[in-house]
Amino acid sequence: MWAAMARAGETSDWRSLELARYATDNALTTITRSLYTDHFNHVVTRGWPRNAPTVTSAEPASDPSTVMLSDCGDSTRWLKYQEGTSTLVDDKPGGRQSIVAEVKRQADGAWRVTQFAVQGVGSC
């Protein structure tokens, strides 16, 4: 999901079809709204986040349909810029951020992130 979001962020493509391959429900809405806001404000994202999620729970244990993930993502090299410039939009650099996500098996058998929360820089 994060890689798809990074690719879409390069042009703030809030309509990227790739996003729905990895996210749905609240997660997809959160991502597309964020990208639309960037598109509207002529902001693009450059670079890539670094993630190494781990499974914290799986329900039901015998045949999971919902998995919770935890991560300490790093956005140090994934920053927002004013489109067409090298001007950072935010004067705060990226950094390590606590992330939790819910991933559910969908009717088509695919696993997609349904919701996630990202805490502030320095939260892990």
pLDDT tens-digit readout, 32-84: 999 999 999 999 999 999 999 999 999 999 999 999 999 999 999 999 999 99
Residues 6+ apart with CB under 8 A from 102: 66, 67, 68, 69, 113, 114, 115, 116
Domains delineated in the chain: 2-118 (3.10.450.240)
pLDDT at 1: 97
Give every CB contact of residue 86 below 8 A, 6+ residues apart in sequence: none
Whether residue 31 is predicted with pLDDT greater than 80 in this model: the reply is yes
**Helix axes 2-9 and 25-40, enclosed angle (nearest 10):** 20
**What local confidence, expressed as pLDDT, does residue 93 receive?**
80
5 φψ region: left (φ > 0), alpha (ψ -120 to 50), beta (else):
alpha
